[in-house]
Amino acid sequence: MKKYILGLAVLSTVVMKAQTQIIAHRGFFQAQPPTTENSVKSLENAQKLKIYGSEFDVRMTKDGVLVINHDEHHGDMEISETSFKELEAVKLSNGEKFPTLKDYLKQGKKDPSLKLIVEIKPAKTPEIENEITQKTLKMIRDMKLENQTEYISFSLNICKQIKKLEPKFKVQYLNGELSPEQIKNEGLDGMDYHYSVFQKNPTWISEAKTLGLITNSWTVNDPAVYEELKKQGIGFVTTNIPDQLKNK
């Protein structure tokens, strides 16, 4: 009986731990010392935390180079309207060179235990979105990172394009307006929504889980919001404070 109870206690701890996993948002940049978001250094910091994954943003320069940056602009230059050579002339605020997707993936490959959560940013036309998606997936296949990557986007077109090209890749939609049933009907694997969407739709996490969908939320920087989502059984949270949430 004692063994049985002990077994149950161990099992429930494992299940509890498996419930909510942590993803660093744009790498772990609010570290000691702090660094720049979406820098290779921020990914290196995330690798040291032993968490589920690290998220980053992919964009394409005017001459077709895939780069890592959240905003449309790098310095005062619009990335999609500027050549890589011009962009590269401006360093990141931590002194690092402006990272390409290739630089980033090379660093990611050093630690196969950390999933790389690839966000492909919406572009000006569906044609450009499809080109960025196709090039991103090709690089990931060429570098044999298929099993270490998962995908997110605010663009439904990009999400569907990834599933069309690589049906086995896990794709979560970010924009928040589709219900779990609609996500399922679009053929996607999950929803990664702002936490306010789950607060407004308190049945969505359990509905999504029933449908076998991945549930994820951004950007959860308040431990109280984390607790609230965890209670609802959310699968993942994406956060700027992965070091603080990972032990909660």
144 conformational bin, left if phi > 0, alpha if psi -120 to 50, beta if neither? left
Q: Is 94 exposed, middle or buried, given 0-12, 13-18 or 19+ CB atoms closer than 10 A?
A: middle
Shortest distance (Å) from residue 17 CB to Mg ion: 26
Reference 193, options 225, 227, 217; nearest CA is 217
Reference 236, options 30, 110, 55; nearest CA is 55
Tokens of 80: 């999609």
Among 24, 74, 116, 119, contact with Mg ion (rule: CB under 5 A): 119
Size of interface with Mg ion, in residues (CB under 5 A): 2
- Tell how far CA 109 is from the center of its chain: 16
Q: Where are the beta strands (DSSP E) in 18-81?
A: 21-24, 53-60, 66-68, 73-74, 77-78
- The residues, ordered by sequence, that sit 6+ positions from 77 with a Cβ below 8 Å of its Cβ are 86, 87, 90
- 135 vs 194, which CB is nearer to Mg ion? 194
Are the C-beta atoms of 112 and 105 separated by less than 8 Å? no
- 57 vs 96, which CB is nearer to Mg ion? 57
Among 57, 96, 166, 228, contact with Mg ion (rule: CB under 5 A): 57
Shortest distance (Å) from residue 53 CB to Mg ion: 12
Strand bridging mode 171-173 / 77-78: unpaired
- 158 vs 184, which CB is nearer to Mg ion? 158
- 57 vs 131, which CB is nearer to Mg ion? 57
Point out which span in 102-110, 114-122, 188-196, 238-246 binds Mg ion (CB under 5 A). 114-122
- 54 vs 148, which CB is nearer to Mg ion? 54
Query: Which amino acid is it at 26?
Result: R
Shortest distance (Å) from residue 142 CB to Mg ion: 23
Residue 228 engages Mg ion in binding (rule: CB under 5 A): no
Mask 73-112, x = binds Mg ion (CB under 5 A)? Answer: ----------------------------------------
Point out which span in 16-24, 51-59, 97-105, 131-139 binds Mg ion (CB under 5 A). 51-59
Q: Which positions touch Mg ion (CB under 5 A)?
A: 57, 119
